[in-house]
Amino acid sequence: MLDMKWVREHAEEVRVTVGHKGIHLSVDELLARDEERRRLKRDTDMLRERRNRLSSEVGRLMQEQRREEAEAIRAETKTVNAKLAELETELRAAEERFGALYELVPNVVSPDTPIGRSDEDNVELKRVGEVPVFPFEPKDHIELGELHGLIDVPRGVKTGGSRHYYLRGAGAQLHRAVQQLALDLLLERDFLLLEVPLMVKEEAMNHTGYFPLGRDQAYKLDEVDGYLAGTSEVPLIMYYAGEVVEAETPIRLAAASMCFRSEVGSAGRDVRGLYRVHQFAKVEQVVICKSDPAVSEAILQEITANAELLLQKLELPYRQMAVCTGDMSQKTYKQYDLETWMPSRGAYGETHSSSNLRDFQARRANIRYRDEEGALRYCHTLNNTAVASPRILIPLLENHQQEDGSVYIPAALRPYMNGLTELRPPCGPQEEEA
């Protein structure tokens, strides 16, 4: 969240951001509700002070045996208490009305964030790698998966419903191999690996900025009054929620976890294959640092470079995109997407995302540190998808397919694939590295 004093002083900037991010919020109503609850708070505080003075006066008069005067003040105190109870009720209601609006206030965006309405307005910054030109009719990842016995969508649908799947044999191995490769890259860069809860409280979703606007994307667990996390960013940030941390050296956290999203609003989109599914795995990087814009910008470049390195090790062509205002979430200050070439789509598809949230998320989660003068300040937080699978299997299989139906395995993955250099259709033996 943004500091409300800052919002009052920069109301027009907030209005502009609300419009650019497409959030349904009246800033004028927010300011009116803010003024209402502050007025009620002042009145309530003044009445409490008056009650306390009267109570002290009663005590003094009783000590002086001036009972008649004390009883008169007691009667006045009862009147004050009745009015105070009424005001406190009004204040609670006013704070709830204000809070419901305040939760919707978006983070401001960086000066270099493109202005736009959707992902079509994202701006390409660079391309890396050559898009393959096949001298044969290429197969999509589902055809390759069926050919090699890697993917079984019909049985996934039979078991879990639409957008579910099974990964089999080498398909499951690839799924785990890309995750372990990503984890090993992060461990080499001093990330602390955590195994995290997948079920989280509602307050965790609120504290990390996924609620209220992302509520329809989360699976609710009524029995435990919780939710299935759509990303390990939630439990990684919550690890330090409500704490004062040592942030002179950035805190680098990583997790590999299953993730769950309802994909509400995507009916009819990407229904074939593994691009948009309800259950998937992600390796996430989260960094918590001091509130220095230069530091958090450098970390944004660092975690994006980590994801790029993974794509380079997978020998996949990709491009980096600057995400526009309309394609950003409420909490994001600046965002890059990495899109990997997917031959079956004839286009680049998003596989990675990096975000700098500045202190927006840390304010909600109450993560602070002490600066050089000893003053408490809110941290900056950042996150990046180091890899998400099975989506990454789409470009991995499709870009590396060969005319005979085999699939080349990049050298970086071979140690995690028992030395396999390629996948061959079941009719032939699979080659092992010498």
Between CA 186 and CA 74 the distance in angstroms is 67
Structure tokens at 238: 């919550």
Q: Which of 339, 350, 363, 389 is catalytic?
A: 350
389-404: b (≥16 Cβ within 10 Å) or e: bbbbbbbbbbbbbeee
284-322: b (≥16 Cβ within 10 Å) or e: bbbbbbbbeeeebbebbebbbebbbebbbbbbbbbbbbb
- Which residue reads 């800033």 in tokens? 27
Between CA 318 and CA 130 the distance in angstroms is 9
Let me know if 353 is a catalytic residue: yes
Q: Which of 257, 344, 353, 389 is catalytic?
A: 353
Residue 242 makes CB contacts below 8 A (sequence gap 6+) with 365, 366, 367
Q: Which of 8, 189, 215, 276 is catalytic?
A: 276
Let me know if 223 is a catalytic residue: no
Let me know if 391 is a catalytic residue: yes
Q: Which of 364, 391, 406, 424 is catalytic?
A: 391
Backbone phi, psi, residue 351, to 5°:
-125, -20
For 136-218, where are the E strands, in sequence order? 151-152, 166-167, 192-193, 199-201
Structure tokens at 114: 């493109």
Active site residues: 261, 276, 350, 353, 391
